[in-house]
Amino acid sequence: MSPRLFSHVDDPFLDDPLPREFVLYLRPSGPLQNQLSHFWQQSRVTCGKNKAHNIFPHITLCQFFMCADNKADALCEALQATVQKWRGRFPSPLPLELYTSSNFIGLFVEEQVADVLKQFAADFATEATRKAEVHVEPHKKQLHVTLAYNFPSDHLPSLEKLAKGIEVKLGCDWLVVLFSRDIRFANHETLRVMYPYVPQNDDELELVPGDYVFMSPMDQSSTSEGWVYGTSLATGLSGLLPENYIGLADESDTWIFHGSHSFFSCEPGDKSGKEKGMFDGLLDSRRPDNSNPGDTPAFSLICHPMQVVWCPFFQVLRLGAARQPKRTLFVCRHGERMDVVFGKHWLSLCSDSKGKYVRSNLNMPSSLPLWGGQKDYDMDAPITVFGSTQAQLVGEALLESHSSIDYVYCSPSLRCVQTAQNILKGMQQDAKLKMRVEPGLFEWTKWVSGNSLPAWTSPSDLAAAHFSVDTTYRPLIPVSKLTASESYESYISRSYQVTKDILSDCRTTGNNVLIVAHASSLEACTRQLQGRSPQSAKDFVQVVRKIPYLGFCACEEQGETGTWQLVDPPILPLTHGPNHSFDWRETLLQE
């Protein structure tokens, strides 16, 4: 028996035949979805999480309804048949109007068009009753996309301003999507396990990062301060757990996706979510007819939107066993620079009369690679000892958060190569994972002093100096294609193109990519990836000035649309203060 299945030996719900709750939504894709995702992100950053964040942007077509496991296939067939009837009849574009009140903001569907959508929901209800013998209640209230609700009143101006920035007339393919959830946890708070915890007492719950915990407010009355009582999604077991080991998650993170359909596709059957980059990584699992807990388990990603994959064990195991992480792009600025700390004439501070490298401060490296005329340190400064420490701290944090990195790309600047090397060292991957040096990731060349680019060290020389560099990698944008004093538009275009090419090259062989480059890279490599237009050069500079050494961001691919969105990084931020040079003679011997 596998360790994961063994963990369910004591699960009280293993033989529980409870049906799941299903719901039917319309979900936007395309340009409008990009705008809504941006609103979701910005509203969360600006005002914190509100109730709308528990579920992705959607229009509710029906109330939650029950469906037994052995009827799930028929239910999916009912949805497919209804969509086929409605192809060519779905209203497009869907007119939306912004509405705000003291504690609610939403986009409402124009009434006549809403009546058409309700007729589709009614047709699905009829078909679901006929094929799956379930009762579906179409949504009778005004159809709308909820943007925010149940928020503090002082957040209204900020949220309203963000909502007014949504261009509701943008193109959109509305997808009809079917989800289900575990009925036992419908009124529970969903929490994500952040750190591992091994129980110290019999009444405590083991925590595994990546698992989810369901917590009911009703169960918290007898818990001690700093502890909560919850139930694990992966094992079905309940117990006490330390509150600071978990974080808020969205309710829909634990839902099961059963398929999506476009009203505008003319194909006989929609492509699978995986083929279209939609809902990538979600597992659908259930029990077949006459199955029992002794049957052999089967797990699989969705192959077709309406082909449900089964698991003969029980409902709780679904996401814990085979859910694959979304693709994530991490972008990180390099560590502290020698020329910034010690000034532009730093080279004269660490060279003796014979031209040998001499360390004159504890924050200077004990040695530098390729010293002695072979390295253009004047134009390509290394990082300090503290810069190396910063980078290693980030790597250690990534290791502790159980974040995996499949590929590392870095700018050819030595400070970026050194930073990437130390991050890998902190992750204990420096002997296994090789960096790909990509000139296309270099910063805006307008910021380089003089009329020429630095003479960067070649990958082969870096490898000879014991850097973990992939010497077989062929750059997407070779050094010969870079020009000094390029325009802002050229830099933004270059950064966006090289990022897209990197993600495209890594698509089939890895989930997570780390780019180690410059302060400007955090903005230039992610903004257009999210479907957002570039800022003006002036605003861009203001953003870049706020990004510290080892500034770190995460951009996650949205499986249902193929677009990307900034999300909370898996590690804490790294903050440090300025530390001026200390000369004990000048300070302590003053009269």
pTM of the entire structure?
A: 0.50
Q: Is the pLDDT of residue 383 over 50?
A: yes
- Split at pLDDT 50, 70, 90, the class of 11 is very low
| Nearest CA among 182, 209, 174, 176 for reference residue 80 | 176
pLDDT in tens, 130-139: 999 999 999 8
Per-residue confidence (pLDDT) for residue 131, from 0 to 100: 93
Count, residues in the chain: 591
Q: Which member of 333, 337, 436, 494 is catalytic?
A: 333
Q: Which amino acid is at 327?
A: R
Measure the CA–CA gap between 305 and 328, rounded to whole angstroms: 24
Q: What's the whole-number mean pLDDT along residues 241-270?
A: 79
- Residue keyed to tokens 């077949």: 288
Q: Is the pLDDT of residue 313 over 50?
A: no
Per-residue confidence (pLDDT) for residue 134, from 0 to 100: 93
Active site residue 334: yes
DSSP letters spanning 324-393: PPPPEEEEEE---BHHHHH-TTHHHHTB-TTS-B---STTS-S--TT-SSSS-TTTS--B-HHHHHHHHH
* Angle ∠(126,128,133) on CA atoms, nearest 5: 105
Longest dimension (CA), the chain: 96
Terminal C-alpha separation, the chain? 78
- Split at pLDDT 50, 70, 90, the class of 176 is very high
Active site residue 8: no
Residue 358 CB contacts under 8 Å (≥ 6 apart), including other chains: 350, 351, 352
pLDDT in tens, 435-471: 999 999 999 999 987 778 998 999 999 999 999 999 9
Q: Is the pLDDT of residue 297 over 70?
A: no
Q: Which member of 323, 334, 415, 436 is catalytic?
A: 334
Per-residue confidence (pLDDT) for residue 248, from 0 to 100: 85
Q: What's the whole-number mean pLDDT along residues 65-88?
A: 91
Q: Is the pLDDT of residue 293 over 50?
A: no
Measure the CA–CA gap between 584 and 562, rounded to whole angstroms: 58
pLDDT in tens, 457-506: 999 999 999 999 999 999 999 999 999 989 999 999 999 999 999 998 88
Burial-class residue 268 by CB neighbours within 10 Å (0-12, 13-18, 19+): exposed
Q: Please name the helix (run of DSSP H) or strand (run of DSSP E) that holds residue 514, with its range, or none.
A: strand 512-517
Question: Picking from 86-90, 163-167, 321-325, 334-338, which range would have the lowest pLDDT averaged per residue?
Answer: 321-325
Active site residue 38: no
pLDDT in tens, 23-73: 999 998 888 888 888 888 888 888 888 888 888 899 999 999 999 888 999
Tally of CB atoms within 10 A around 354 = 6
Per-residue confidence (pLDDT) for residue 479, from 0 to 100: 94
Per-residue confidence (pLDDT) for residue 560, from 0 to 100: 54
Q: Which member of 318, 323, 518, 527 is catalytic?
A: 518
- Split at pLDDT 50, 70, 90, the class of 317 is very low
Q: What's the whole-number mean pLDDT along residues 158-169?
A: 90
Token digits of residue 275: 């083929």
pLDDT in tens, 144-153: 999 998 888 8
**What does the H/E/C string look like for 254-303?**
HCEEEEEEECCCCCCCCCCHHHHCCCCCCECCCCCCCCCCCCCCCCCECC
Per-residue confidence (pLDDT) for residue 345, from 0 to 100: 86
Per-residue confidence (pLDDT) for residue 446, from 0 to 100: 92
Question: How confident is the prediction for the chain on average, in pLDDT?
Answer: 82
Measure the CA–CA gap between 499 and 476, rounded to whole angstroms: 10
Q: What's the whole-number mean pLDDT along residues 265-278?
A: 39
